[in-house]
Each structure stands twice: as structure tokens, then as C-alpha cells.
Amino acid sequence: MSPPERPVIGVLAIQGSYPLHLRAVARLGVQGCPVRKPADLEGLSGLIIPGGESTTMTLLAREYQLFEPLRQAGLAGLPMFGTCAGAIILGKGEGPPPRLELALVELERNAYGRQVDSFTATLDLEPEIFGEPFHGVFIRAPRIIHDPSSAVQVLGEHQGSPVLVQSGKLLLSTFHPELTEDLRLHRYFLERCCGLSLTPFSG
């Protein structure tokens, strides 16, 4: 009997902070795979869409003929984790860029201002899940417009606005966990959304 295949987590690698997500996945003992063409989506246990420039990312995704395969993969149930620009692309919203519209939330781009208005904040995420506060890095961050009557679960807020939500197997963060050494959000995605069993980790 052949051994079970090792799970692979894809990271959209056409623009943005994808190397840091690949590093985070590797630190958790999971194989990561850069995704740059439709064939790279085959056999994945989950996909991370990184932060970056959302308009550029969607233009490149269409140029590489990835945009519609990404949507179809999400509709077929592939777990996805979008951070900042990645969250914008996963959700809904008016105006550019084009959205995958997979998550049941609307996101407003650049809601906190321009690049010079970037900031950090101590975030009180769901304590029963994440325990200690999380250091959030916000760079031209979007704002999640959440309908309390929807099935979307709010896992963290900042000044009354959701900054971390889960919509089915989709996890959306308006901040950049990959810019810290804290792996709790990546671990949550791999375990809770992708269904992977990770070994204990204390880093």
C-alpha cells in the first residue's frame, strides 16, 4: 500500500507578499506550492491569496488565465485564506478590482487611507480560539462590511469593525499576519478550514 499523499497548500504567486506565506506554511510543517497557472490548482488542500495590490493582482490573474479557475475552485469547495488584497478579491464590492465574490461579505478598498496611513494595532481576536492578542499590521487596508444576519463568523474586530471573518471554508483578514512571526492565523486556516492535523508548535 502506498503512503498517503502529503497535503499541499497553494499560495497565489503572481504579485504581493506570497514568499512570506510560503515561509509561514513551511514553518508549520506543511508543503507549500506557488500557484501561477491553472494546472497549479490541481490537488491542493487549500489556497492562500496574499496581500499586495488588488487591481494588479486581478489583472495578472486574468492575463495568466487564472481568475475563472480560482472562482471555480472556490465554488467547488477549496478552502481559501485571503489577506488584505486577497480578502478584497475573495469578497464582494463596488468598483474595481474584479472580485471572485466567493465570500458572503463586501469589502471597501483603502478604507483607512493611503500607504502613509498604514498602522499597527493590538487586536483582540476570538479569545477561545486564539488566546493572546494579535499584532495586526494594516497597509492600505480594506474594511469588511458585515451583515450581522449573515452566516459569516466574525473572529476579530478593531474599533468596532470586523478585521477577521470566516465564510464557510474561506478566511478573510484585512491585516497582514504574514508580516509577523505569529503563525496562529495560518495554523487556524490549515486546521479549521483545510482540515489538516498539525503537530504541536510553540514558535
Return the pLDDT at 113.
58
Return the pLDDT at 117.
58
pLDDT at 54 over 70: yes
How confident is the model over 114-141, as pLDDT tens digits? 665 578 999 989 999 999 999 999 998 9
Is 201 within the bounds of a domain? Answer: no
- The half-sphere exposure of 116 on its side-chain side, counting CA atoms within 13 A, is 0
Number of domains in the chain: 1
194 is catalytic: no
Is 152 within the bounds of a domain? Answer: yes
On the 0-12 / 13-18 / 19+ scale of CB atoms within 10 A, 178 is: buried
How confident is the model over 132-171, as pLDDT tens digits? 999 999 998 999 998 887 889 999 999 889 999 999 999 9
106 is catalytic: no
Is 154 within the bounds of a domain? Answer: yes
Q: Which residues pair with 161 in a beta bridge?
A: 158
| Residue pair 87/100 in contact by the 8 Å Cβ criterion | no
Range list of β-strands (E), 23-167: 31-35, 46-49, 80-83, 106-108, 119-125, 134-138, 143-145, 153-158, 161-167
Return the pLDDT at 30.
97
The dihedral sign for the CA sequence 119, 122, 126, 129: positive
Q: Which residue among 21, 108, 158, 176 is the active-site one?
A: 176
Q: Which residue among 21, 106, 178, 186 is the active-site one?
A: 178
Q: Which residue among 84, 108, 158, 193 is the active-site one?
A: 84
For residues 57 and 148, what is the distance between their CA atoms, to the nearest angstrom? 30
CA distances from 145 to 88, 150, 165, 171, 175 (A): 11, 11, 11, 15, 15
Is 200 within the bounds of a domain? Answer: no
pLDDT at 203 over 50: no
Is 76 within the bounds of a domain? Answer: yes
Is 199 within the bounds of a domain? Answer: no
Mean of per-residue pLDDT scores for the chain: 92
Is 169 within the bounds of a domain? Answer: yes
| Residue pair 52/87 in contact by the 8 Å Cβ criterion | no
Return the pLDDT at 116.
53
135 is catalytic: no
Domain span holding position 40: 8-193
Is 82 in a helix, a strand, or coil?
A: strand
CA distances from 104 to 57, 136, 145, 170 (A): 21, 23, 10, 9
Nearest-5° Cα angle at 80, 59 to 137: 80
Q: What is the CATH number of the domain that holds 131?
A: 3.40.50.880
Return the pLDDT at 130.
96
